[in-house]
Amino acid sequence: MHVAITGAGGAVGRVLVPEFESDRLRLFTHGETDDLDSQPLDATDRRAFVDALRAAGRSDSDESDGVEALVHLAWAPADHEEWNDDHAANVAMTANAFEAALACGVDRVVVASSCHAVGMYNRDDPVRFESTVQNPTDVVHPATPPRPDSFYGVAKVAVEATAAYYADRHGVEAVVVRIGWLMTADELRETWSDSPDRHRFARAMWLSPRDCRALFRAAVEAPLDRSPVVAHGISCNGDRFLTLTETMQRLGYRPRDDACEVLDE
């Protein structure tokens, strides 16, 4: 399969690159990288985005079969507490990704959202960024109304709405992945020494690297019975309150890791 990944130099991108190395793969990063075979791309420049994606479809042979799936992870750091131009630029990058996909005939766009788009559910403190109650009472489904916990979450809600617009208006296959807390098992264990609310958040939202790779592989390849699909991107954690039912049913995702089992080892 011919796959392009933006934001390939970020934490999620670096986890995914080995998963797709057997595919025809084109990586885009914001700047030059010494350890990745990537092309610099300013995703805020729509024309540049279109040109780069079109060139990626011709890069490996004279006969272009085009990029089939675009995994859009590019995201610039922005203040969680205030809305500013950086947030707006991140949302614009998502629109540019879809416009580039339309222009280049890309079949599917997978975009990165976040659990912070619904982060105010099961919150015992409305201010602390990662605070969740000991025993959550609200199960959050992909169709549950968004309740962002920060301007970062607000921007991710806008990303989800952008994906829905392009799916409904233009027929683009869109998969939105609400990524949880991606970290290794050792990093998860280290949260024992964090504050109780941060540790509870880690147990509920953990996404292991192995499950991250499996989820994005499914997001790229699974046949879709409708679009867009909103998928919760966490492992099969015993303390989760984001449901995995639709992610498993719509995408065939089968998570293998559980934060509770890791912490009980």
Which residues are catalytically annotated? 152
* Residue 260 burial by Cβ neighbours in a 10 Å radius (0-12, 13-18, 19+): middle
Q: Which residue has the tokens 């610039």?
A: 76
Which amino acid, one-letter code, is at 169? R
The DSSP symbol for 105 reads T
**Who contacts 260 (Cβ-Cβ below 8 Å, separation ≥6)?**
203, 237, 238, 239
**Who contacts 66 (Cβ-Cβ below 8 Å, separation ≥6)?**
2, 57, 104, 105, 106
CA 171 to chain centre: 20
